[in-house]
Chains A and B, each alone.
Chain A
């Protein structure tokens, strides 16, 4: 079973019984193994608070200046409700960048912080699509979707080497954000697989961004790409079947 199969299995488990159950006992086992991220409501709340702290950062101000649609009157309301455009991908970029900027300003080390900074992208994707509970797919919660996204990111990052100048955390977070967004948009089966494929081909981010404005920007962009990939997959964009383990896929390129 490929890594993409494993991610689909853990996403299926997050979607609840009857939605997309793991295809095999093997799949169920691997879900139990990697499903240890256990994102809590408190962590989600902490992410929201961090995003609020970073809402006035230079990076968020610049993003607001270039985002489509009318800018909100109060920049510091961004993480809560004000969506500068109807596109939730932009909300994800702003929120992820804000949280990463706040974490950077707090002087946290990006890799040893309570939440790996790059993985803030997964939270950002979740929050951007949280909306009202009744609009979520049946049985799905933001917490469960973020949990699955974090597990997916963890699974991907274990297959990446921390060398070569890429930011493995950001690369992995792109996949995680796509899984979270896909679950919140109700994607299953081939569509969720396509979302992972659209994310994988766009996974990027540089280690050298650490300490520059580009770090918050690339974390937020991972969230943007994840949400957009889920939207594109839902609309029917096709993608490779094995974007991670394929011969010219993500692990071959970043591993």
Chain B
């Protein structure tokens, strides 16, 4: 009788190799386009530069594409660089029930294996979808205990998804894939302590690279502890309480995909602060109408307790740290009425006017506030030039019920394309985002991935001039 792990792998491989049901197909295409955008956007970042330097020293050149770069790397370094880039700006995606960002590591896995496996469009998209799904289901089984304990679940669960995606592309069977998961279980990576440093996005890159290695080693005949997803296996190591039903054995017939719940980030920072930032951006014109920003005297944010837990930095010192400061997100929203990559730059993180507003913010954690909701209240002193004793203007209060981009209020396809255009723009030009979108939409019927890959690299001199 096949083990639980083999059952799980068989279902995942069937899903990867069969026709995706329409909702999963749409979710996969949207998730793929979105993480390609974040990967391209960060391809010129300092963190990716570090990895390229190390790859040079390690002799890591090869045929695998890193989105946005002209140079190509071997599969290991390509996976490391792509996964790190796609997650670097915390602008990728979130499965809210687990807080997994599934796209980055899975994208990195499938991209790195294209040169040697030459997949058809459906095989490529199917492997991406199943890789996301596998890590989300394992994540559901260990949630919330695993993340609450301090693990960065994107890394620790991502490696299993990467192993499944790699197994799908490498043509492995369920028994071999189960051994790959057993080996992947010895290669989990990710502490939440790393948030705010380059090591956080590295977790997604390592998940991809390690998952591919686990699949290759299993294909070469190796195995570890039997039935890692079964009773007393790795799930019990990862979490004090395990919900094995969440693995969804017997899936996918008639059951929805967790991938359908993956949401696309609207701001480049931790997702739990997004409702607060929606509120701040809504409040911005109302504050500007009446008085200058300098008149703000107090800001209170009623929010889910995960906000101070995950986004509690009071005065971040650089752009990466500001991604873990809800106060920063609210401050830039109130000041500028927007919160894009520029508002999470090193310059924005250290701007005195932003620091002043951050210092005025109180986080009022309330377990009754859902993760996708927040209430922001801004109080102000009298307007400049008003007589002594003049009454204070009324406080501005904004309540957000569902943050933009959440499962209840998902980004439209047009909003997603606008986001990806903005991400591609400075690197490859906005038109490349449209080409990538079109190529992704054709994947379900495409013989190969050539059209997509053509949209992911800078044009050569000849292509530019012709």
Cβ-defined contact, B46 with A236, below 8 A: yes
Collect the chain A residues with CB atoms within 8 Å of residue B60's CB.
68, 87
- What chain A residues lie within 8 Å of B49 (beta carbons)? 236
**Docked CA distance A228–B149 (Å):** 27
Q: By the criterion CB–CB under 8 Å, are A252 and B150 in contact?
A: yes
How far apart sit A252 and B149, CA to CA, in the bound complex (Å)? 8
Known: A243-B193, A248-B150. A237 touches B47 (CB 8 A): yes
Of B35-43, B221-229, B396-404, the segment with at least 4 beta carbons within 8 Å of chain A is: B221-229
Q: Are A62 and B186 in touch, CB under 8 angstroms?
A: no
Q: Given the complex, which residues of A lie within 8 Å of B234, measured CB to CB?
A: 165, 206, 208
Are B237 and A206 closer than 8 Å at their CB atoms? yes
Q: Are B217 and A237 in contact (CB under 8 A)?
A: no
| Size category, A interface | 35 or more
A247 to B320, CA, bound (A): 19
Interface stretch of the complex, out of A132-140, A176-184, A212-220: A212-220
- Contact A213–B199 (Cβ < 8 Å): no
Would you call A202 and B58 a contact (CB within 8 A)?
no
Q: Are B236 and A165 in contact (CB under 8 A)?
A: yes
Judging by beta carbons under 8 Å apart, are B191 and A253 in contact? yes
- A39 on interface, CB distance cutoff 8 Å: no
Tell me, in angstroms, the Cα distance from A176 to B196 when the chains sit together.
24
Collect the chain A residues with CB atoms within 8 Å of residue B194's CB.
197, 201, 239-240, 243
Tell me the minimal C-beta distance from B159 to chain A in angstroms: 9
Given contacts A217-B222, A221-B187, A232-B50, contact A247 B193 (CB under 8 A): yes
Q: Say whether B197 contacts A164, CB under 8 Å.
A: no
A231 at the interface (CB under 8 A from B): yes
Give Cα A206–Cα B182 distance, bound, in whole angstroms. Answer: 10
Q: Which residues of B contact A204 (CB under 8 A)?
A: 186-189
Which residues of chain A are within 8 angstroms of B220 by Cβ–Cβ distance? 61-62, 65-66
Tell me which residues across on chain A come within 8 A of B237, comparing CB atoms: 164-166, 206, 208
On whether the beta carbons of A214 and B57 are closer than 8 Å, the reply is no
Judge if B430 is at the interface, Cβ distance under 8 Å. Answer: no
Residues A198 and B187 in contact, CB atoms below 8 Å apart:
no
**Interface SS of chain A: helix, strand, loop or mixed?**
helix
* B53 A208 Cβ-Cβ under 8 A: no
Contact A213–B223 (Cβ < 8 Å): yes
Q: How far, in whole Å, are A109 and B220 apart by their CA atoms in the complex?
A: 27
Number of interface residues of B (CB under 8 A): 54
Q: How far is the CB of A245 from chain B (nearest CB, A)?
A: 9
The answer to whether the Cβ of B354 comes within 8 Å of any Cβ in the partner chain is no
Interface flags for B192-216 (1: CB within 8 Å of A; 0: not) read 1111111100110010000001001
Collect the chain B residues with CB atoms within 8 Å of residue A75's CB: none
- Is B51 part of the binding interface, using a Cβ–Cβ cutoff of 8 Å? yes
Q: Are A59 and B222 in contact (CB under 8 A)?
A: yes
**Given A237-B50, A238-B198, A250-B191, are A68 and B150 also a contact pair (CB < 8 Å)?**
no
In the complex, which of the residues A69, A87, A238, A248 contacts B191, with contact meaning CB atoms closer than 8 Å?
A: A248
Q: Contacts of B223 on A, CB cut-off 8 Å?
A: 212-214
**Contact: B224 with A217, CB < 8 Å?**
yes
Which listed residue, B46, B186, B202, touches A221 by the CB 8 Å rule?
A: B186
User: Does residue B185 face the partner (Cβ distance < 8 Å to A)?
Assistant: yes
Residue of A nearest to B62 (CB): A68
Query: In the complex, A170→B325 CA distance in Å?
Result: 34
CA distance A200 to B202 in the complex (A): 13
| Cβ-defined contact, A89 with B217, below 8 A | no
Is the C-beta of A44 less than 8 angstroms from some C-beta in chain B?
A: no
When the two chains form their complex, are residues A62 and B197 in contact, meaning their CB atoms are under 8 A apart? no
Judged by a CB distance under 8 angstroms, whether A235 is at the interface is: yes
B76 interfacial by beta-carbon distance below 8 Å: yes
A1 → B minimal CB distance (Å): 18
Q: Nearest Cβ in chain A — how far from B116, in angstroms?
A: 12
Residues from chain B with Cβ under 8 Å of A253 in the complex: 149-151, 191
Is A34's beta carbon under 8 Å from chain B?
Answer: no
Q: For B54, give its contact among A202, A212, A214, A232 (CB under 8 Å).
A: A232
Kindly state the separation between the CA atoms of A235 and B52 in the bound complex, as whole angstroms. Answer: 9
Interface flags, B53-75, vs A, CB<8A=1, else 0 = 11001111010000000000011
- A116-150 vs B, CB cutoff 8 Å, 1 = contact: the mask equals 00000000000000000000000000000000000
A214 touches B150 (CB 8 A): no
In contact, A249 and B188 (Cβ under 8 angstroms): no
Which single member of B150, B195, B199, B225 contacts A206 (CB below 8 Å)? B225
Asked if A33 is at the interface of the complex by the 8 Å CB criterion, the answer is no
Is A200's CB under 8 angstroms from B198's CB?
A: no
B247 in contact (CB, < 8 A): no
Residues on A with C-beta less than 8 A from B299 are none
Q: Are A237 and B198 in contact (CB under 8 A)?
A: yes
Residues of B within 8 A of A246 (CB): 193
B217 in contact with A62 (CB, 8 Å): yes
The CA-CA distance from A240 to B193 in the complex, in Å, is 6
- The answer to whether B333 has its CB under 8 Å from any CB of chain A is no
| Residues of chain B lying within 8 A (CB to CB) of residue A206 | 185-186, 224-225, 234, 237
- A201 touching B186, Cβ below 8 Å: no
With both beta carbons as reference points, the residue of chain A lying nearest to B224 in the complex is identified as: A214
**A63 in the interface (beta carbon within 8 A):** yes
- Is B217 a contact partner of A202 (Cβ separation < 8 A)? no
* A239 engages B197 (CB within 8 Å): yes
Q: How far is the CA of A69 from the CA of B197 in the complex (A)?
A: 31
B190 at the interface (CB under 8 A from A): yes
B183 adjacent to chain A (CB < 8 Å)? yes
Quote the shortest CB–CB distance from A142 to chain B (angstroms): 20
A226 to B48, CA, bound (A): 20
Contact, CB under 8 Å: B183 / A217: yes
Contact partner of A63 (CB less than 8 A), chosen from B50, B53, B152, B217, is B217
Q: Are B199 and A242 in contact (CB under 8 A)?
A: no
Which B residues contact A (CB, under 8 angstroms)? 46-47, 49-51, 53-54, 57-60, 62, 74-76, 149-152, 155, 182-183, 185-199, 202-203, 206, 213, 216-217, 220-225, 233-234, 236-237, 320
Other contacts beyond A200-B191, A201-B199, A206-B186: 14, CB < 8 A: A58-B221, A59-B222, A86-B59, A198-B199, A198-B202, A206-B234, A209-B186, A214-B224, A231-B57, A232-B50, A232-B202, A235-B57, A239-B198, A247-B193
Which residues of A pack against B, CB within 8 Å?
58-59, 61-63, 65-66, 68-69, 85-89, 164-166, 197-198, 200-202, 204-206, 208-209, 212-214, 217-218, 221, 228, 231-232, 234-240, 242-243, 246-250, 252-253
Contacts A/B (CB < 8 Å), 15 sampled: A58-B221, A62-B220, A62-B221, A66-B220, A86-B59, A198-B202, A201-B203, A202-B189, A206-B224, A206-B225, A212-B223, A212-B225, A214-B224, A250-B193, A253-B150
3 closest Cβ pairs, A-B complex: A214-B224, A86-B59, A165-B237
